[in-house]
Structure 1
Amino acid sequence: MAKLNFPSDFVWGTATASYQIEGAYQEDGRGLSIWDTFSHTPGKVVNNDNGDVACDSYHRYEEDVALLKKLGVKAYRFSIAWPRIFPQGTGEVNEKGLDYYRRVVDALLAAGIEPAVTLYHWDLPQALQDKGGWANRDSIDAFVKYAEVIFKEFNGKIKQWITFNETWCVSFLSNYIGAHAPGNKDLQLAVTVAHNCMVAHGEAVKKFRALGIEGQIGTTHNLYWYEPLTTKPEDVEAARRSRAYYNEWFMEPTLKGTYPQFMVDWYRSKGAEVPIQDGDMETISQPIDFIGVNFYSGGYTRYKKDEGLFDSEDVQVGFDKTFMDWNVYPDGLYKVLSWVKDEYGDIPIYITENGACYEDELAEGNRVHDALRADYYKKHFIQLHRLIESGVQLKGYFAWSLLDNFEWAEGYKKRFGIVYTNYETLERHPKDSYYFIQKVIADDGLEV
């Protein structure tokens, strides 16, 4: 067997998001978010589940930090709930909300774990949504004020900052497809929201620099890799559009300060214009210290007239599937991050999410034998090593997720955790995949 060794400074971590794990949705002055509204609307979430309790990490964060320490990770990526800090989105700071994150950050640091914080992981204060949400540019100013409070409060304690998680999901999934909060189905709205969120990212980066905050700042985009089924020009173009929907539309403004013109033209043909104001593109493309990439899947596609938004249809070519019905495509990770380097230069990259959903059952001795998930991680870790050996500046990897949690519109039926959450007792039980990752970290690599 060959041993694949990772650099000694490679950052192994795992990740969660506030609404998915915290619960305590009406506690200590927290305001409502768009996900409280959405999940309490009948029919929006499987089984009408909601995040009222979730994993109750608001009260059990010490257990979670202990699990992280036992796992051996160097870092933990989590998000701050904007409605805990500003219950109405703006106005007076809610000190009790801030104090919760003070306790979490201090517990992590005491355990020797670096906090990597996402400022926006989808829980927009409902009060701002009532005023137009991300379609209203006032939300940009509100976000920057919120970010400034967090930057100042945790300067020196938090060294890695992520402005937004998956702007594609915030915009297209939530405002064009309508599957996530706030649940709109309007292409122009989605294009507007995407643009405004990227402007908000850039303004937050400018504020970070102006304040002289320690550490690094970047943003996270969810990237997919689509191949054309054949070499026919129409299939090649269909795959290009499918990739750009997730990739170029967000990466190019962030890293080059432009939108891909072929996509601008395509959206215009569908009746949607990008609402660019003077200075926006310079703001969006503020220099960042790293790019975060969430990678889950990809596949093959071909041209089909009037199929979906891009005249393309996905074609199955024998991929294994996760319980989310997503293709298991480890080689796609290698391809998409190689493309990032080729297209945008030698920027440091963190994989801020990667993981798999499978049906898990608690077995004798409170063990969960999730061999498929462990194998998923192994296959993707091999690609990490390939990327590093190929010269990609891959600095770290955060497994999604530490805990089984509220999986957005899928509720609690879909489990991504390397730790099993018993939703009746809220007890946590590490799965076999947890122990697999623990060994990889301890050994600085894996046998293949």
Structure 2
Amino acid sequence: MVKIQGAPQMSLAPNSGFVWGVSTSSFQIEGAARIDGRGDSIWDVYCREPGRVRNGDTGETACDHYHRYKEDVALMRDLGIDAYRFSISWPRVLPKGRGAANEAGLAFYDRLIDELLASGIEPWICLYHWDLPLALHELGGWQNRDIAGWFADYTALIARRYGDRVRRFATFNEPCVFTLFGYGFGWNAPGIADADALHRAIHHVNLSHGAALEVLRAAVPHASLGAIHNRQPCFPAGPNVDDAAAARHFAEYWNDAFPHPQFFASYPPALAKAIEPFQKPGDMALIAGPVDWFGLNHYLPHYIKADPNVIGATFGAPPPDVPRTTIGWPIEPKAFRDSLLDIHRRFGLTIYVTENGTASDDTPDSSGHVEDVGRIAYLQAYTNAMQDAIAAGADVRGYFVWSLLDNFEWTSGYDQRFGLVYVDFPTQRRIPKASARWYASLITGKRRPSVPQISKNSAEAITATR
């Protein structure tokens, strides 16, 4: 048996300035895909293609947050969170991605923001969480350099509309994921696997980031700006030299394709030559505009193997002795601590953990409760690892759980449940899980619930000392 290691009580007291929050994204929870003037995104079309998404699931209804946002804000208020990080649906507010704005879509976010503020919850806006308007994709999307201007215009619309009430803005969520999976591997929308497409997309996303920063600085002078990166150690999946080289190469795409140019005005060596044909004078200065914080999404380290794809590397299996989640992700809190310290050393910025969490096979028991002890164990271990990083000097100022709700998890559809709140999708009933109560207790500084011993062979096994 492996005992869950209980670290000392978190020393971050309520009202200490540390931000406790939850995160979601527009396509994954809003639903209402065909009403009030919303246009199609690339994910709407991708979901309609047979075999792309598990069980043929779509985001058409998702969690129906568009209609149930008041109920969801009430759940957040009950948790006692400080902040809610959500994304704007670009095709909801600009159905064609540019041109005429959709007042009904803009008004939805007015209602959401006002409800959050009335509940004492700070809204954090992420401008892009993967749902590119289909109309822009048909014009080349992230492969078209003009998209930097389109994104700047979209940013200006959002800044003008909400900048009087919103201070925190992130430009992009996990650009390394949606570019590599969508344009390199072909695993996500829009389903392209091409080296030139990947490198164009990387550069044009970076340009769009820089252009959006300029717009936000001018339009919302009081704003606190950042970008959200998925970043973690990349280890060789095997002992051979090919896997070791693949891991180093993969890390430049995964960890450095966006933070490196955004902070240091240059691409890492593996990308520099490939992206050079798409650069123009002045690009790097625009990309490296100043930001106020580093957003980190972290779930697991990667174990990488050589593969004959567009970048010569892909995901391998973790070592057999590493505990895993129910979806097979390795559970290694030490990698989280190390990532926080690495970001602190490299970039010297305040860090907000904008996503961390785990999926579980959650179902209500006979009494209607969801006792997700594995998620509690995971969150305890990872928040302890965060505290260790803070004690070692990392300037971490906030932590957001992914996610508030069980939701549409991209190509996994509705099979993976990451939420603190269980969603019965046929009825849309919300049931706060045991982990929601645990998180509320952590936030308020009360004694955290005890966690039972869990077998190392269990899919939910975890140890905070790895």
TM-score range, shorter chain: over 0.9
SS in 1 for 2:85: strand
- 2:197 is aligned to 189
1:362 and 1:185 mapped to 2: Cα distance?
A: 40
Greater shift in the superposed pair: 237-246 or 74-83: 237-246
Unaligned residue ranges in structure 2 (runs of 5+)? 1-5, 451-466
Q: Which residue of the partner structure matches residue 419 of structure 1?
A: 421
Alignment correspondent of 1:153: 161
String of CA shifts for 1:348-367, please: whole Å, max 9, x gaps: 11111111111111113321
Is the partner of 1:184 in helix, strand or coil? coil
Please name the residue that 2:430 is paired with.
428
**1:4·1:445 contact (CA, 8 Å) conserved in 2?**
no
Displacement, 1:240? Answer: 2.3
Q: Indicate how the Cα distance of structure 1 residues 283 and 356 shifts in structure 2: closer, same or farther if over 3 A, else same.
A: same
Which of 276, 279, 290 aligns to 1:287? It is 290
- Counterpart among 323, 327, 336 of residue 324 in structure 1: 327
Q: 1:208 aligns with which of 195, 213, 216?
A: 216
2:457 aligns with none
Distance 1:404 1:212, change over 3 A: closer
For 2:110 and 2:388, locate their aligned partners in 1 and report how far apart those are by CA, in whole Å: 38
The one of 91, 104, 123 aligned to 1:115:
123
Give the Å deviation of 1:212: 4.0
Give yes or no for contact 2:340–2:386 (8 Å, CA) kept in 1: no
Whole-Å separation in 2 of the counterparts to 1:445 and 1:310: 48
* Closer, same or farther: CA 127–232 of 1 in aligned 2, 3 Å: closer
Correspondence for 1:347: 349
Change (3 A) 1:309 1:51: same
In the alignment, is residue 338 of structure 1 matched against residue 338 of structure 2? no
Identity value in percent: 38
Contact 1:5 1:445 in 2 (8 A): no
Residue 296 of structure 1 aligns to a residue whose secondary structure is coil
Q: Which residue of 1 aligns with 2:110?
A: 102
- For residues 122-271 of structure 1, what are the structure 2 equivalents within 5 Å? 122-228=130-236, 237-264=245-272, 268=274
Residue 41 of structure 1 corresponds to which residue in structure 2?
49
Residue matched to 2:459: none
Task: Using the TM superposition, give the Cα deviation of residue 200 of structure 1 relative to its aligned residue in structure 2, in angstroms.
Answer: 0.2
Alignment of 1:5-16 (within 5 A): 5-6=11-12, 8-16=16-24
* Structure 2 letter corresponding to 1:168: C
- What amino acid does structure 2 have at the position aligned with 1:11? V
Q: What SS does the aligned partner of 2:301 have?
A: strand
What amino acid maps onto 1:369 in structure 2? E
Contact 2:250 2:314 in 1 (8 A): yes
Q: In the alignment, is the contact (CA less than 8 A) between 2:23 and 2:403 conserved in 1?
A: yes
Please list the CA deviations of residues 195-215 of structure 1 after superposition, one character each: whole Å capped at 9, or x if unmatched.
Answer: 101110110001111224322
Q: What's the TM-score once normalised by structure 2's chain length?
A: 0.90
**1:156/1:214 contact within 8 Å kept:** no
Q: CA deviation at 1:445?
A: 7.9
Q: What SS does the aligned partner of 1:372 have? A: helix
Q: Is the 8 A contact 1:418 1:434 kept in 2?
A: yes
The farther-off stretch of 108-117 and 135-144 is: 135-144
Distance 2:219 2:308 in 1: 49
33 and 162 in structure 1: CA distance in 2 versus 1, 3 angstrom threshold: same
Change (3 A) 1:234 1:23: closer
Cα distance in 2, alignment partners of residues 19 and 182 from structure 1: 15
Given candidates 298, 301, 325, the residue that maps to 2:301 is 298
Paired with 1:253 and 1:119, the residues of 2 have a C-alpha distance of 20
Amino acid at match of 2:339: V
Deviation at 1:340, TM superposition (A): 1.3
Structure 1 residues 393-426: Cα deviation after superposition (integer angstroms, max 9, x where no partner): 1110110000000111111111111100001100
Report the secondary structure of 2:226's partner residue.
strand
Is contact 1:155-1:213 (8 Å) kept?
no
Q: Does 1:443 align with 2:448?
A: no
Q: What's the TM-score, normalizing by structure 1?
A: 0.93
The question of whether the paired residues in 2 share the 8 Å contact of 1:49 and 1:411 is answered with yes
What is the aligned partner in structure 1 of residue 91 from structure 2? 83
Deviation at 1:232, TM superposition (A): 8.4
Tell me whether 2-11 or 136-145 shows the greater mean CA deviation: 2-11
Matched-pair contact (CA < 8 Å) for 1:28–1:96: yes
**Whole-Å separation in 1 of the counterparts to 2:379 and 2:417:** 15
Give me the whole-angstrom Cα distance separating, in 1, the residues matched to 2:59 and 2:238.
44
Name the SS of the counterpart of 2:418 in structure 1.
coil
What is the root-mean-square deviation in Å for CA atoms of aligned residues? 2.1
Q: Distance in 1 between matches of 2:191 and 2:237?
A: 32
Deviation at 1:92, TM superposition (A): 1.1
* Partner residue in 2 for 1:25: 33
Indicate the residue corresponding to 2:10 in structure 1. 4
Instruction: Tell me the residue number matched to 2:383.
Output: 381
SS in 1 for 2:278: coil
Q: Post-superposition shift, 1:243?
A: 2.1
Q: Which amino acid aligns with 1:141?
A: G
After TM superposition, the structure 1 stretch with the greater mean CA deviation from structure 2, 151-160 or 437-446, is: 437-446
SS at match of 2:52: coil
Aligned to 2:454: none
SS in 1 for 2:364: coil
Contact 2:247–2:313 (CA under 8 A) maintained in structure 1: no
Measure the CA separation in 2 of the matches of 1:99 and 1:230: 52
Output the CA distance in 2 between the equivalents of 1:126 and 1:247. 28
Distance 1:233 1:445 in 2: 48
* Structure-2 residue corresponding to 1:54: 62
Instruction: Give me the whole-angstrom Cα distance separating, in 1, the residues matched to 2:373 and 2:70.
Output: 28
2:361 maps to amino acid: E
The code of the aligned residue for 1:155 comes to G
Residues in 2 aligned to 1:363 and 1:445: alpha-carbon distance in whole angstroms: 25
Distance 1:236 1:40, change over 3 A: closer
In structure 2, give the amino acid aligned to 1:389: A
The answer to which of 62-71 and 220-229 deviates more is 220-229
8 A Cα contact 2:91 2:133, kept in partner: yes
The C-alpha deviation readout for 1:142-195, integer Å capped at 9, x for no partner, is: 111111011111113111101111111221111111111111111210111111
8 Å Cα contact 1:195/1:274 also seen in 2: no
In the TM superposition, residue 137 of structure 1 has moved relative to its aligned partner by 1.6
